[in-house]
């Protein structure tokens, strides 16, 4: 329904989750955060969902946390109240591939939410900002560092300056920038290309890459994945289809 704070759908292996507080530029309040948590639980449990897309409304991804709600919680002395962080953490913890479809501002908790996704596609009118230091907080420093490195992360966190789409692409914050008119098609094309891949392989690959990025035992996990996946039903079916398409080559043409 159009008046829901979060609109979800599943089609062709793609689970879509659209933030729907356009009047608040999709700022995350407690009801929206709870809806995101519930949607992620449903998507993760649904075998029909192979990739998850997080998107906002036309021209606005997410302005951050709902400041009125956050201020009220702070004045009440509730130091643990942070639904936007909980929502971003839940998206980041998914074993399935996730894509942030960013059209417009992704500020504060919105930037954190986008950084928690595996891939980021942005329109050319998009921009990022990490303003936590302005408010006496630290928001997104860990996630940002894993994407752009410590030197740039310190600059963006310390200064809270905005980053436009072109700079975001240049520093490795996003995967691709497309014109607004091509944005929806670009998101769907990328999501579809992930959805048709082996869901087992993409889950294991995500674990390996995340471990490699954080100093974990990536090689060990990749070796474990090979032992589990190689010769399994999914591998054999996909490998058989692939080799059948290659004229004059047998099953020894790849691994």
What CATH number does residue 48 fall under? 3.90.226.10
Q: Which residue has the higher pLDDT, 41 or 241?
A: 41
Q: Quote the number of domains for the chain.
A: 2
Is pLDDT at 114 greater than 60 in this prediction? yes
Residue 126: pLDDT band (50, 70, 90) is very high
Is 128 part of a structural domain of the chain? yes
- Residues of the chain above pLDDT 90, percent: 84
Residues 98 and 184 in one domain: yes
Is 246 part of a structural domain of the chain? yes
Is pLDDT at 28 greater than 90 in this prediction? yes
Residues 151 and 104 in one domain: yes
Is 213 part of a structural domain of the chain? yes
Final residue of a domain: which of 177, 195, 213? 195
Is 242 part of a structural domain of the chain? yes
Handedness of CA 17, 20, 26, 32 (dihedral sign): negative
Is 162 part of a structural domain of the chain? yes
Residues 213 and 155 in one domain: no
Which range marks the domain in which residue 151 is found? 6-195
Residues 231 and 117 in one domain: no
Is pLDDT at 253 greater than 50 in this prediction? no
Residues 37 and 66 in one domain: yes
Q: Indicate the helix (H) or strand (E) that contains 61.
A: none
Residues 101 and 220 in one domain: no
pLDDT of residue 243: 72
What value does the mean pLDDT take over residues 170-176?
98
Residues 72 and 112 in one domain: yes
Final residue of a domain: which of 152, 175, 195? 195
Is pLDDT at 3 greater than 70 in this prediction? no
Residues 162 and 222 in one domain: no
Residues 109 and 122 in one domain: yes
Write out the DSSP string of the chain. Answer: -TTSSEEEEEETTEEEEEE--GGGTT-B-HHHHHHHHHHHHHHHH-TT--EEEEE-BTTBSB--B-HHHHHHHHHTT-TT--HHHHHHHHHHT-SS-EEEEE-SEEETHHHHHHHTSSEEEEETT-EEE--GGGGT---SHHHHHHHH-HHHHHHHHHH---EEHHHHHHTTS-SEEE-GGGHHHHHHHHHHHHHTS-HHHHHHHHHHHHHHHHTS-HHHHHHHHHHHHTTSHHHHHHHHHHHHTSTT--GGG--
Residues 86 and 170 in one domain: yes
pLDDT of residue 72: 79
pLDDT of residue 86: 95
Residue 246: pLDDT band (50, 70, 90) is low
Is pLDDT at 143 greater than 80 in this prediction? yes
Is 1 part of a structural domain of the chain? no
Is pLDDT at 254 greater than 60 in this prediction? no
Residues 40 and 88 in one domain: yes
In the numeric block, which tokens belong to residue 36? 């995101």
Other C-beta atoms closer than 10 Å to the C-beta of 137 total: 13
The whole-model pTM stands at 0.92
pLDDT of residue 75: 73
Residues 186 and 222 in one domain: no
Is 108 part of a structural domain of the chain? yes
Residue 71: pLDDT band (50, 70, 90) is confident
Is pLDDT at 84 greater than 80 in this prediction? yes
Q: Which residue has the higher pLDDT, 186 or 251?
A: 186
Q: What mean pLDDT is reported for the chain? A: 92
Is pLDDT at 180 greater than 60 in this prediction? yes
């Amino acid at each position: 329904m159009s008046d829901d704070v979060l609109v979800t759908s599943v089609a062709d292996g793609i689970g879509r989750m659209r933030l729907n507080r356009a009047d608040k530029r999709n700022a995350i309040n407690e009801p929206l955060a709870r809806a995101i948590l519930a949607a992620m639980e449903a998507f993760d449990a649904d075998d029909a969902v192979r990739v998850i897309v997080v998107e906002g409304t036309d021209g606005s991804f997410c302005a951050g946390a709902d400041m009125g709600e956050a201020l009220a919680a702070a004045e009440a002395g509730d130091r643990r109240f942070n639904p936007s962080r909980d929502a971003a953490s839940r998206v980041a913890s998914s074993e399935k591939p996730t894509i942030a479809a960013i059209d417009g501002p992704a500020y504060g908790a919105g930037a954190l939410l986008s950084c928690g996704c595996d891939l980021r596609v942005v329109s050319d009118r998009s921009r990022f900002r990490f303003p936590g230091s302005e408010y006496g907080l630290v928001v997104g420093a860990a996630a940002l560092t894993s994407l752009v490195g410590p030197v740039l992360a310190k600059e963006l966190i310390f200064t809270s300056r905005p980053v436009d789409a072109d700079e975001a692409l240049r520093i490795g914050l996003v995967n691709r920038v497309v014109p607004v008119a091509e944005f929806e098609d670009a998101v769907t094309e990328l999501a579809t290309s992930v959805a048709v891949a082996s869901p087992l392989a993409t889950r294991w690959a995500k674990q390996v890459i995340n471990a490699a990025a954080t100093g974990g035992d990536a090689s060990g996990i990749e070796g474990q994945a090979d032992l589990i996946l190689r010769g399994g039903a999914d591998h054999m079916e996909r490998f058989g289809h692939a080799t059948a398409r290659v004229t004059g080559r047998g099953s020894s043409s790849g691994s």
